[in-house]
C-alpha cells in the first residue's frame, strides 16, 4: 500500500467512525416530522378514516405499508401514482401490504374518502446511507456488524461475508440478539435499500449508536462486482 492510499484509508475510517462525512443520502440532524401509524413486524400500519376527504399521512421512503380502516374491515385503497390497488379483506395468496420505494406526495382514495400520503427520507443523528463502494470501505476498516434483513431464501442465494440474517419482519422481536453490539457500527442491507431503511430506524430507536444503510442494497453491491458468499 502506498502512503497516499494509506492516508485515504485512514480518512475513510475516520469519516465512517464519526458518521459526519457527506456520503450519499446524508442528512444533518433536523427535527424530524411526525410520522403516521405504527410499526408492527416490520410493516408500517396506517389507519385510514372512511369519512375524511382531506387526510394527510406521512411515512418514510422504503416503508412497507399495511393499511387498515377505522370501523370497518372491508375497503379498497387506490394510489394511482404508485400503481397500488389494495383490497381488504386481502384475497388469499396476496400480500397484506404494499411498498413505497420513492419519496414524494401520493394522492389516494379509499371509497369516498381520500387525501395524500407523503413519503419522506429518514434522517437521524446516528444514521447514514452509503453506496456499495463506501460500504466495502467500512467493512475493511471498521469491522461492523453486517445485518442482512432479507428472507432466508434471498440470503442463501448470496450474501455479504460474515452477515447475520434477521428478516425485517423479525427485527423487533429479535433485537436482543444484537444488544451487545449497540456501540459498534451496524451495516444494514436488503435487496434494494427499502427493507433496510425500516430495519435501520428500528435499530436507531433502540439506541444503536452507528447505523449505516446500504442505500441501494445488495443490488448495488453486485453491480459493483463486489464479492458475495453462498
Sign of the CA dihedral 44, 101, 146, 8? negative
At 10, list the grid cell.
485512514
* Distance (Å, whole) CA 49 – CA 124: 30
63 SS3 class: coil
Q: Which residue has the cell 376527504?
A: 53
* Distance (Å, whole) CA 230 – CA 55: 46
Q: What backbone torsions phi and psi does residue 28 show, to the nearest 5 degrees?
A: -75, -135
Which member of 46, 160, 187, 190 is catalytic? Answer: 190
Task: Quote the DSSP letter at residue 162.
Answer: T
190 annotated active-site: yes
Strand intervals (E) in 121-196: 127-130, 145-148, 164-165, 185-189
Residues with catalytic roles: 190
Amino acid at each position: 500500500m502506498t502512503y497516499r492510499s494509506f492516508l485515504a484509508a485512514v480518512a475513510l475510517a475516520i469519516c465512517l467512525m464519526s458518521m459526519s462525512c457527506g456520503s450519499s443520502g446524508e442528512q444533518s440532524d433536523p427535527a424530524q416530522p411526525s410520522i403516521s401509524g405504527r410499526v408492527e413486524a416490520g410493516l408500517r400500519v396506517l389507519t385510514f378514516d372512511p369519512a375524511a376527504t382531506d387526510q394527510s399521512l406521512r411515512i418514510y421512503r422504503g416503508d412497507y405499508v399495511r393499511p387498515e380502516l377505522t370501523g370497518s374491515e372491508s375497503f379498497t385503497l387506490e394510489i394511482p401514482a404508485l400503481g397500488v390497488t389494495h383490497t381488504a379483506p386481502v384475497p388469499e395468496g396476496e400480500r397484506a401490504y404494499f411498498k413505497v420505494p420513492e419519496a414524494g406526495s401520493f394522492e389516494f382514495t379509499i371509497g369516498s374518502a381520500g387525501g395524500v400520503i407523503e413519503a419522506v427520507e429518514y434522517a437521524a443523528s446516528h444514521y447514514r446511507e452509503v453506496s456499495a463502494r463506501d460500504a466495502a470501505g467500512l467493512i475493511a476498516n471498521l469491522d461492523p456488524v453486517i445485518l442482512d434483513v432479507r428472507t432466508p431464501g434471498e440470503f442463501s442465494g448470496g450474501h455479504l461475508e460474515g452477515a447475520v440474517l434477521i428478516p425485517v419482519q423479525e427485527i423487533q422481536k429479535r433485537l436482543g440478539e444484537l444488544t451487545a453490539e449497540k456501540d459498534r457500527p451496524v451495516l444494514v442491507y436488503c435487496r434494494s435499500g427499502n427493507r433496510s431503511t425500516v430495519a435501520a430506524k428500528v435499530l436507531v430507536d433502540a439506541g444503536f449508536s452507528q447505523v449505516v444503510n446500504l442505500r441501494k442494497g445488495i443490488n448495488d453491491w453486485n453491480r459493483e462486482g463486489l464479492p458475495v458468499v453462498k
